[in-house]
Structure 1
Amino acid sequence: MKHFKFIAIMFIFFIGLLGMFSTTNVNAANTNDHYLANIKKKGTLVMGTSPDYPPYEFLGNKDGQNEVEGADVQLGQKIAKDMGVKLQVKSMGFDSLLVGLQTNKVDMVIAGLNKTPQRAKSVSFSNSYYKSGTGLIINKDDKNKIKDYHDLKGKAVGAQVGSVQYDSIKKLSGVSTKGMENANDLIMALKSNKISAVAMDQSVAQAYANHNSGIVTIPSGLHSGDSDNNIAFSKGANSLVQSANKTITNLQKDNQYTNKFIPTAINEMPNNKNQSTVNSMWQYKDFFISGIENTILISVISVIFGIILGVIFALMRLSHNWLLHAVAVCYIEFIRGTPQLVQIMFVYFGLGAVVNVPALTAGIVAISINSGAYVAEIIRSGITSISVGQNEAALSLGLSSKQSMRYIVLPQAFKNIWPALGNELVTLIKDSSLASVIGVGELMYQMRAVQADTYKGVAPIAIIMVIYFIITFTISRMMKYFEGKFNHGTND
């Protein structure tokens, strides 16, 4: 009977999740005819992009703040202007952009995106605003060895996952394809000889080569990698597509995107090629400080709510009430059985489609929920480690069960599990980096911003490694200090 009840609770739980998404999709479908009117009503057009693709989109440094710039941003501003609204740019991972569009986090996606039959099933595309070719980036030392794609046989070639170039390289016989999400990671892999070449958009390839010593760009010879760049909108958002197409048609009359937007973007790109690593990193100290602030903010709030959730669900799991016990087991096992990155994306894109949740709030909520499941098990083990006799003694002295748990059992349990809670806090601080996938400006996100702005791949990584170590080492020493206080008090 107990097993049947448990299965029933799990079934209801998953049906609830599916129902949530069904509601979201229905609501989206019912507003298809009012997209442009809704944009004009709110006065803002939200553009989603992945700012690691210069000169189309990249993070620039203005007055100590990172700001998304590039040819695609200029295009977005022109489209918004023609609609009579302001443009707001949201940064997120390339593979999260279409999800953000489908869950109404953004109104359009401009990110050097190519229209494919698979993508067209989920979103609507504008007309092409720019036709791009494919270039190869290679190390200067290989200039005489690699002339085009014919010389790649037997070698490893990198490309951004989901790009047309990635699909083209995969079709080459005898070539090993290495896919990565971030263009900066591809450049680092090339310079460290992990791969022999990088295939990417010709303009992007030239931008990286111009700002990185030791690498050059050559024609790929891959005409199958040439592609049209399109703007993506929610499926059925015909009014937005038509408005964007009008802007694109006007821009194409004098080829403004190629002759104006791209040259302007290239001029905006910082040139740190001949600058020392120390000087270039020091200029971005405000980025790292901002990342530290957000990382600590996420960690502190998440650990507080994690402990609160942990106590609640630990007591629920120890409860003799089958319903409370089943709910706690479902929560703990489900959260511990799914990746935290997926949970963060679910809260932001999934629940956020029903209730508009800012990225920082979504990150805190998801990390708190995740931490709560692990803390619940830690607390449960601490409670069960306390002798049953102590609880019985408390009851014999006239204390109620709640008073016994509050004043006798929990204080001793927390003393026993203090080291485990310290480990959970350290893990939580490091896991806060996963929130960067939804655009939260913590340390990992700021590292990406510095990489994109300086074209230096390893130095920003080394800096945040040191920062994470300082934070976690300090926390570990503090937890050790209080642990000693607890033990000293017990010995007294």
Structure 2
Amino acid sequence: MKHFKFLMIALLFVLAACGDSSGSEAKKNDDKADAGKWEEIKEAGELVVGTSGTLFAASYYPEGSDKLTGYDAEVIREIAKRLDLNVTFETIGIDGLLAAVNSNRIDVAINDIEITDERKKQFAFTDPYKYSFTSLIVRSDDLSGIETLEDLKGKKAGGGATTVFSDIARHFGAEVVTYSNVSNDVYLQDVNNGRTDTVINDYYLQKLALKAITRFDIKIHPDIKFHPTEQGIVVHKDATKLVQKMNQALQEMRDDGTLTELAKKFYGGEDVSKQPEAEIREIKELDL
């Protein structure tokens, strides 16, 4: 009997050892796959970044300049610098950015892109580098006939076909008027002339757009603040090592004040790297 017990214990030990070995080997393989994108980028010494180049103040070309800048552009430049990488930008319309990440045409996308549960099923995101909420641009004289979000029903909202903002517009019964990769003034002009009734978008971006473009009789709706948001850098789903490296750089930037400095520079003194203090309506019934 003792001999039988000894054999059983020995067998269990062998099985346990085999289990540990295979599990360890599987983990090594997973780690290798996770690190693959990062190793590829590190070897090339270059991070290929997709962004629209038309979104003031996140990603844009200043008048008379061919150098891309903006909060998002400078955040990713600083991250790359801390990771000892060069940056190459590819300008892609907002509706094509996620597909470009998925197809590995670009390494990452940054363009004020909201982190949502639905998107996290297909992509990885860094920690947020920006916090905000959503607002409406409307005509000044009558607020485009919109007193609540429910009044969007039957209205026309200008926006990109695949954005969260357009999803919100459709949810409340608005017709979305889509555009290609155009600049802010086109959206604002159409609200002003009545082609559309509103533009739903990020509050801080809208505030800056109106400050920069003053020739239209439009404004941010004074009574409607909704859908708090977090923006992150979009990465391929399997590139977990790259996300880890970028998050480390982001945390360093947060700790040493670089992120706050960049935020205030491009957002008129507002620190968008911190959550806003405002009463903001959540749209819980909308699955994003």
Under a length normalisation based on structure 1, what TM-score does the superposition of the two structures give? 0.43
Task: For residue 171 of structure 1, report the CA deviation from its aligned partner.
Answer: 1.7
Q: Hey, what's the Cα distance between the residues in 2 that align with 1:201 and 1:220?
A: 15
The DSSP-based 3-state class of the residue aligned with 1:84 is: coil
Task: For residue 220 of structure 1, report the CA deviation from its aligned partner.
Answer: 6.1
Q: Hey, what's the Cα distance between the residues in 2 that align with 1:132 and 1:88?
A: 27
1:217 and 2:216 are equivalent in the alignment: no
The DSSP-based 3-state class of the residue aligned with 2:128 is: coil
Query: Does structure 2 retain, via aligned residues, the 8 Å contact 1:160–1:200?
Result: no
Mapping of residues 200-211 of structure 1, within 5 Å: 200-211=201-212
Q: Hey, what's the Cα distance between the residues in 2 that align with 1:176 and 1:44?
A: 41
Instruction: Give the letter aligned to residue 192 of structure 1.
Output: N
Q: 1:144 to 1:43 in 2, by over 3 A?
A: closer
Instruction: Give the letter aligned to residue 94 of structure 2.
Output: F
Runs of 4+ in structure 1 deviating by more than 4 angstroms, as ranges, are 143-148
Q: Hey, what's the Cα distance between the residues in 1 that align with 2:57 and 2:159?
A: 17
Task: For residue 147 of structure 1, report the CA deviation from its aligned partner.
Answer: 5.0
Q: Hey, what's the Cα distance between the residues in 1 that align with 2:83 and 2:222?
A: 38
The DSSP-based 3-state class of the residue aligned with 2:74 is: helix
Task: For residue 143 of structure 1, report the CA deviation from its aligned partner.
Answer: 4.5
Q: 1:112 to 1:219 in 2, by over 3 A?
A: farther
Q: Which runs of 5+ in 1 are unaligned?
A: 1-29, 268-492
State the Cα deviation string for residues 279-328 of structure 1 (Å, max 9, x = none).
xxxxxxxxxxxxxxxxxxxxxxxxxxxxxxxxxxxxxxxxxxxxxxxxxx
The DSSP-based 3-state class of the residue aligned with 2:57 is: coil
Query: Does structure 1 retain, via aligned residues, the 8 Å contact 2:95–2:160?
Result: no
The residue number in structure 2 matching 1:134 is: 134
Q: 1:191 to 1:70 in 2, by over 3 A?
A: same
The DSSP-based 3-state class of the residue aligned with 1:69 is: coil
State the Cα deviation string for residues 246-293 of structure 1 (Å, max 9, x = none).
122233346643x322332357xxxxxxxxxxxxxxxxxxxxxxxxxx
Q: Which has the higher contact order (CA 8 A, sep 6+)?
A: 2
Query: Does structure 2 retain, via aligned residues, the 8 Å contact 1:137–1:209?
Result: no
Query: Does structure 2 retain, via aligned residues, the 8 Å contact 1:160–1:183?
Result: no
Greater Rg over alpha carbons, structure: 1
Task: For residue 109 of structure 1, report the CA deviation from its aligned partner.
Answer: 0.7
- What is the root-mean-square deviation in Å for CA atoms of aligned residues? 2.6
Q: Hey, what's the Cα distance between the residues in 1 that align with 2:86 and 2:243?
A: 17
Query: Does structure 2 retain, via aligned residues, the 8 Å contact 1:149–1:220?
Result: no
Query: Does structure 1 retain, via aligned residues, the 8 Å contact 2:204–2:267?
Result: no
The residue number in structure 2 matching 1:191 is: 192
Query: Does structure 1 retain, via aligned residues, the 8 Å contact 2:150–2:172?
Result: no
Identify the structure with the greater strand proportion.
2
Query: Does structure 1 retain, via aligned residues, the 8 Å contact 2:135–2:220?
Result: yes
Task: For residue 112 of structure 1, report the CA deviation from its aligned partner.
Answer: 0.8
The DSSP-based 3-state class of the residue aligned with 1:133 is: strand
Q: Which runs of 5+ in 2 are unaligned?
A: 1-31, 269-288
Q: Hey, what's the Cα distance between the residues in 1 that align with 2:231 and 2:52?
A: 14
Q: Hey, what's the Cα distance between the residues in 2 that align with 1:199 and 1:222?
A: 11
Aligned residues: 233
Q: 1:152 to 1:97 in 2, by over 3 A?
A: closer
The DSSP-based 3-state class of the residue aligned with 1:96 is: helix
